[in-house]
Structure 1
Amino acid sequence: MRCQPTDGKPVYKWLKTNQHCLLCDEPSDSPLALCGDCEAELPWLGSHCLNCALPLPCAGLSCGACLKRPPSFTRIEAAWRYSFPVDSLITRFKHRAQWPLGRLLAELLSHHLQHAFSEGLAKADLLLPVPLSRQRLRQRGFNQTQMLADWLSHSLQLPQTSELLVRHHDTPAQQLLSAAERKRNLRRAFALTDQAPIKGRHVALIDDVLTTGATAESIARLLRKAGAARVDVYCLARTPKPGDL
């Protein structure tokens, strides 16, 4: 779509000097548009489930839900809890088209992933952004996960494509539904194209926020059925359980 940025035309002049923090507007002390004080105050995820990244009080454990029913994806890698100010930054990027904020979050997520790779996380062969339906894409004008995938592809030197995974029909917004309703909402919502070269590949889905994991599970099940060797999810933020601040 016209309002979607094209390759080679960045939505933000990403200078290496004279940056100002996009949160406090003070001069940045790093190459990023984020000062050290604001970066330190971001709600970094911390201890979490080894599979679904649900925030937990202790590290190195799997949550009860993943132990009871192992998900189709192997691992979700998220940088932050979905809380202030990350929730506000994602909302402004996603719903108000403030693309510099998305670019900043993608750059920080790429640093998080590079550290995870150095610590032993298996690196994906291919990045797949979670698709929007045609109706939702027309309404919003851009797919935020496609933009994240483009930026991560460049930073991580990994191929990405939006041509293999499609969303058949529009569905009610997931934010308005319960966990059970989310699962029903996504039945047969996604499909792979006939020529999708998935068999034997390690695929990473790109999403902005993971709440119940219903979207990730639906797509991961589809990819595993098509022969994917492993499916991970790279996302910006993970929501905690209700009442768990």
Structure 2
Amino acid sequence: MLCLGAADTGRELCHACHLELPWLGSQCRMCALPLPNDGQLCGQCQTSPPGFVRVVAPFRYAFPLDSLIPAFKYHRQYAFGRLMAELLVEALHDAYRDSPRPECLVPLPLHGRRQARRGFNQATELARPIARALELPLSTGVLRRVKATASQQGLPAAERHRNLQGAFRCVRAAPIEGRHVALVDDVVTTGASIRSATRTLLDAGAGQVSVWCIARTP
């Protein structure tokens, strides 16, 4: 799918391209921000704990992910989404080898008007194959984005956080009550969206929240 060579990894990817993907490496143990040393906490997580338990993100948001994700998200290249979901499942098997997995998946929602324009929610399309592969329930009607925020792209961190205050509402708490929830999204940048959604899920009765995404922006 990347170099047009023979795929020899069990998915539409060759071994050489798989090795050259922008693997995340050393990171903050809570928000997955790239750090010089693994297992540390970044400054933001020390001063303002995010609420979620951890972020699982196999990649940095860099080439070729910075081309594949927009192609999937804005141009309906679903094959790229399927490939990235498979890679995330691989990372999740490693991440939860010695600890229990979350009990259900909740995709980060788009506001209704934005989803109508785009035609689909990329987080839901990523979450479907992940839920099937891990045999976990997918709860698509739990969270609703009730505030039509301006685009987050290009905004500094402080404005992103202000932009998202009161952006989410839990409309169906039963599937998450007392459970460890995996919140699924494509990319984590400042973490403003996932922090806001995490607070909403915890306030609605979720026991714990982890975040699963494809890539983390440095």
TM-score between the two structures when normalised by the length of structure 2: 0.97
Tell which structure's C-alpha radius of gyration is larger: 1
Q: Deviations along 1:55-93, whole A, 9 cap, x unmatched?
A: 001111111111112111110000100001111110111
- Residue 66 of structure 1 corresponds to which residue in structure 2? 45
Task: Kindly indicate whether residue 72 of structure 2 is the aligned counterpart of residue 93 of structure 1.
Answer: yes
- Residue 154 of structure 1 corresponds to which residue in structure 2? 132
Determine the C-alpha separation between the residues in 2 that align with 1:124 and 1:104. Answer: 22
Q: For residue 56 of structure 1, what is the amino acid of its counterpart?
A: L
Contact 2:143 2:172 in 1 (8 A): no
Task: Kindly indicate whether residue 158 of structure 2 is the aligned counterpart of residue 177 of structure 1.
Answer: no
SS in 2 for 1:174: coil
1:199 is displaced (CA, Å) by 2.3
TM-score between the two structures when normalised by the length of structure 1: 0.86
1:138 is displaced (CA, Å) by 1.1
- Residue 25 of structure 1 corresponds to which residue in structure 2? 4
Q: Deviations along 1:130-156, whole A, 9 cap, x unmatched?
A: 001111011111111000010100111
SS in 2 for 1:175: coil
The number of residue pairs the alignment matches comes to: 218
1:195 is displaced (CA, Å) by 4.6
Task: Kindly indicate whether residue 14 of structure 2 is the aligned counterpart of residue 40 of structure 1.
Answer: no
Give the percent of matched residue pairs that are identical in Structure 1 and Structure 2. 50
Determine the C-alpha separation between the residues in 2 that align with 1:143 and 1:67. Answer: 32
After TM superposition, the structure 1 = structure 2 runs for residues 1-245 of structure 1, keeping only pairs within 5 Å, are: 22-118=1-97, 120-240=98-218
Determine the C-alpha separation between the residues in 1 that align with 2:9 and 2:40. Answer: 34
Determine the C-alpha separation between the residues in 2 that align with 1:195 and 1:81. Answer: 33
Q: For residue 188 of structure 1, what is the amino acid of its counterpart?
A: G
Cα RMSD between the aligned structures? 1.1
Q: Deviations along 1:94-139, whole A, 9 cap, x unmatched?
A: 0111000110000010011011111x24300110000011110111
Determine the C-alpha separation between the residues in 2 that align with 1:49 and 1:64. Answer: 9
Determine the C-alpha separation between the residues in 2 that align with 1:41 and 1:82. Answer: 13
Contact 2:173 2:204 in 1 (8 A): no
Determine the C-alpha separation between the residues in 2 that align with 1:127 and 1:190. Answer: 16
Gaps of 5+ in 2: none
Determine the C-alpha separation between the residues in 1 that align with 2:201 and 2:117. Answer: 28
- Residue 9 of structure 1 corresponds to which residue in structure 2? none
1:229 is displaced (CA, Å) by 1.3
Q: For residue 207 of structure 2, what is the amino acid of its counterpart?
A: A
Determine the C-alpha separation between the residues in 1 that align with 2:124 and 2:109. Answer: 8
1:196 is displaced (CA, Å) by 3.7
Q: For residue 43 of structure 2, what is the amino acid of its counterpart?
A: G
SS in 2 for 1:162: coil
